[in-house]
Amino acid sequence: KASLDELVDTVISRISKPYGMVVIEHADCLRDANYIKEQIQAKNPEIKDFNISSVGPIIGATTGPDTIAVDFYGEKVTISSGE
């Protein structure tokens, strides 16, 4: 669960207002997806809109079971060649 808690902390630290939908995608690990949702809600009750779904067959075949992805609108990220 430490890796899931770290993922939750990353979402909480990087998500930005206005809070849009948080999409949690999983590869045969619905229990972990629900855990992430519950932890995000517990740490920030203002985040209310969630969608939990399974990854598609292409991503699932590439990553394998127990993969989790969390999609959300966050802070602007810029990458320059000097970094």
Looking at residue 75, what is its pLDDT? 72
The whole-model pTM stands at 0.85
In terms of pLDDT, which residue wins out, 6 or 82?
A: 6
- Nearest Cα to Cα of residue 68 among 12, 21, 30: 30
| 22-26/50-54 β-pairing | parallel
- Nearest Cα to Cα of residue 36 among 59, 61, 12: 12
Q: Does the pLDDT value for residue 3 go beyond 90?
A: yes
Q: At what angle do helices 30-43 and 2-14 cross, to 10 degrees?
A: 50
Distance of CA 47 to the CA centre of its chain: 13
